[in-house]
Structure 1
Amino acid sequence: MADSSNKEDIVQLIKRFGAFLTVKISNLFHAVDSRSIGAIAGLAFAIVFTWRLLRSPSGPQRRQPKRQASAPSSSGISNQSNANLTSPGVCSASEDSSAQNVIDEFFQPVKPTVGQIVRQRLREGRKVTCQLLGIILEESSAEELQKQATVRSSVLEVLLEITKFCDLYLMETVLDDESEKKVLLALEDAGVFTSGGLVKDKVLFCSTETGRTSFVRQLEPDWHVDTNFEISSQLARFIKYQLYISSVKPERSAANVYSSPSLEQFFGSLTAA
């Protein structure tokens, strides 16, 4: 009778585990990138490990307690009987908790890397043009560049990931040659050219906003990033995607013009607007 009861308990536990596992697998494949092979390997390991965990206690449960040579007192018999009745339930609850902990550990949502987010947000676009002022640089005007050029530290990680995946061109409107030198030196000091994906020849300078628009039209990128809404609107007819950087979201824009307070915030989440 004890063996039959234990088998039924194990069968019920496996059924509950199977139902739970089905839900977890469904959630996993909705949350994880299809190329996340590590998550699939973790799933297989979790199944094998949990199955062994469920099987291991079955042996000792079949052992009968060793009989005492002398007859115990009625109080002892009662205590021993109560212990035998409650022990399987305690073990079952412990096994359920252990299995649950193992499953929860292996099925934690897999956080995508910055590189994965960049690829998904850019919709596999392979060429990007980007304005420097107010996006890559702290400065927001050509007049400020005459004094100094400072790369925004918060944008560096995203910028370097873009250079690994895309053909990136940076461009800006400047007032003199000294401003160009300051910009190139700031980018070099920030390590932008060390990754191999961006070279100084791909940092372009012009004297007017029209010149920047002309650069983008000639390069024909998949994405252009700019702080000038007029430029983004004009290019929307010719360039597949636009990213308008501004703290204020425009009331109206073309369907292929996206907006974000900063470049790094645009890549901050897969569900970002």
Structure 2
Amino acid sequence: MLSRLQLLLGATSGTTLALTGILGLAAVVYALYQLRGGPGRKPDEQGAQQQQQPYDPTKPSTSSAAGAAAAAAASATPSAAVARRLAGVQRATMSVPGVLLEESSPGELEESACVRADAVALAREVARCCSAGLYLMCQVADDVGEAVVRGALEHAGLLGTAPGQVPPHRLLFCSTLEGKASFVRQLEPELHVDAHPRTVSDLQRFVKQLVLVAPPGQQAALPAGGSGGGGAAAANVQHAPSLAAALGVLPA
């Protein structure tokens, strides 16, 4: 480009010497203008500019539309699965230890309450689907355990008055397994979810649908001596390794 500029300037050097300062400047600008190709850009330059244009999220594209549809379908899958599983269930009850929390005994809850985030999200879906509400049960040793559990569930966003939350007065505490079973019987839910075999055994004759949440290695027969009797699970008892499996979100 520099050589072409020199040639153009050299070819007009005689004229340039006779020009005034303003006209000389105009000649130089015109020469540069000609070297750049005039008002239009070359096709390859235009293509490069188009390739460098920033992505505009408001412009639809096949890939982005497909990705949005896939994301919407994925996000809707848990809700749809829970809704199908809870067809006909107006009120549900759920034991907190071992289902929503990693801890499963009153002694453990004296020290900590580790929330299972995926289970809490599903519990909120249950609360949305049940027209008569979701009630939570928790066996604790004393007020310390109650404060630990309540604080953990509040921090996880499960307790509250917004849609998909459980009102604080629907979190019920008791000191014995018998007290928990009594709560469930008084509420008369269509579904109860629990991680304690004894509670499930005691409720076999009183609740239409029962779910015992326990890892595969811990899914032993229900204990004898409960109101179910005989230690064998009744037809209304479902075993599941997690709340997600119990609600049909993951394979049982």
Q: Distance in 1 between matches of 2:95 and 2:121?
A: 17
Instruction: Tell me the equivalent position of 1:225.
Output: 193
The correspondence of residues 60-139 of structure 1 with structure 2, limited to 5 A, is 113-139=77-103
Verify: 1:174 aligned to 2:140, yes or no: yes
Instruction: Tell me the equivalent position of 2:243.
Output: 263
Corresponding pairs, count: 164
**TM-score normalised by L of structure 2:** 0.60
Q: Distance in 2 between matches of 1:203 and 1:136?
A: 13
CA drift at 1:226: 1.0
1:63-120 superposed Cα distances (whole Å, 9 cap, x missing partner): xxxxxxxxxxxxxxxxxxxxxxxxxxxxxxxxxxxxxxxxxxx9xxx77622221121
CA drift at 1:250: 4.3
CA drift at 1:153: 1.3
Q: Aligned letter for 2:81? A: I
SS in 2 for 1:225: strand
Q: Distance in 1 between matches of 2:198 and 2:90?
A: 24
Verify: 1:253 aligned to 2:233, yes or no: yes
1:158-209 superposed Cα distances (whole Å, 9 cap, x missing partner): 1111111121111111111111111111111101124444111000001111
SS in 2 for 1:116: helix
Q: Aligned letter for 1:184? A: R
**Higher radius of gyration, 1 or 2:** 2
Q: Distance in 2 between matches of 1:146 and 1:215?
A: 22
Q: Distance in 2 between matches of 1:256 and 1:219?
A: 18
Verify: 1:189 aligned to 2:167, yes or no: no
Instruction: Tell me the equivalent position of 1:147.
Output: 111
Uncovered stretches (5+) of structure 2, i.e. residues with no partner: 1-68, 222-231
SS in 2 for 1:258: strand
Runs of 4+ aligned structure 1 residues displaced above 3 Å come to: 194-197, 248-252
Larger mean CA deviation between 185-194 and 244-253 belongs to 244-253
Instruction: Tell me the equivalent position of 1:64.
Output: none
CA drift at 1:229: 1.7
The structure where helix makes up a greater share of residues is 1
Q: Distance in 1 between matches of 2:129 and 2:121?
A: 13
**TM-score normalised by L of structure 1:** 0.56
Q: Distance in 2 between matches of 1:221 and 1:178?
A: 28
Uncovered stretches (5+) of structure 1, i.e. residues with no partner: 1-105
Task: Indicate the percent of aligned positions where both proteins have the same amino acid.
Answer: 39
Is the 8 Å Cα contact of residues 95 and 136 (structure 2) preserved in structure 1? yes
Q: Aligned letter for 1:216? A: V
CA drift at 1:230: 2.5
1:214-235 superposed Cα distances (whole Å, 9 cap, x missing partner): 0001000010111122221221
Q: Aligned letter for 2:123? A: L
Is the 8 Å Cα contact of residues 85 and 248 (structure 2) preserved in structure 1? no
Is the 8 Å Cα contact of residues 82 and 248 (structure 2) preserved in structure 1? no
SS in 2 for 1:243: strand
SS in 2 for 1:113: helix
Instruction: Tell me the equivalent position of 2:123.
Output: 159
Q: Aligned letter for 1:210? A: E
Q: Distance in 1 between matches of 2:120 and 2:186?
A: 26
Instruction: Tell me the equivalent position of 1:209.
Output: 177
